[in-house]
Amino acid sequence: MRIVLAAESEGVASELGDLFSEIDGVLVRSGAVGEVAADCDAILMKFYLAHDRYGGSPVVGESQVLTNSRGDGLPGRVVATSPFPSSDTSTDDSEVERRLRSMFARAFDAVRTAEGIGEDWRVLVHREGLGLDAFSAQQIFDAIRASR
């Protein structure tokens, strides 16, 4: 699996590119989701949007790979993030970063074990599309590196 990491801002994408420059299997792009998704095989999406658009039911603690048959310009597979238990409401920085690492780890595990997905598949992780605007490039780097 290769990760296509994208941000709308060229500045943020450049910062991510610097951080990920020596990590194999991570490509960094800048642009809106539709602009950077063209050659991707799957896209990571928040669970409530993914299940609303592409079906299935969220399961706490489980990331799911859904099929996109809508012809909406997004990749053919959608990786729904795992919802966290409603009791998991801590705003402590270390807990929020733990949840970010867990979100990526569960999503990447779901991709690796999904039927029909090969090692060369490109999975789009779009910073703003996932609502990760509040996280710094360093926090995203740390979470993805720990989750692969």
Q: Is the pLDDT of residue 122 over 90?
A: yes
Average pLDDT of the chain, as a whole number: 94
Q: What is the pLDDT of residue 34?
A: 94
Q: Is the pLDDT of residue 91 over 90?
A: no
Distance CA 105, CA 101 (A): 6
- Residue spans of beta strands (DSSP E) within the chain: 2-7, 26-30, 42-45, 64-67, 77-80, 122-126
Q: In the sheet that 26-30 helps form, which strands lie side by side, from edge to edge?
A: 26-30, 2-7, 122-126, 42-45, 77-80, 64-67
Q: pLDDT per residue over 33-42, tens digit each?
A: 999 999 999 9
Let me know: does 47 contact 80? Beta carbons within 8 Å.
yes
Q: What is the pLDDT of residue 11?
A: 96
- How would residue 115 be classed by pLDDT, with cut points 50, 70 and 90? confident
Which residues is 27 bridged to in the sheet?
A: 4
* Sign, CA torsion 53/57/63/67: negative
Interval 100-106 mean pLDDT: 96
Distance CA 48, CA 32 (A): 20
Let me know: does 42 contact 117? Beta carbons within 8 Å.
yes
Q: pLDDT per residue over 19-32, tens digit each?
A: 999 999 999 999 99
By C-alpha distance, which of 81, 77, 143, 144 is closest to 107?
Answer: 81
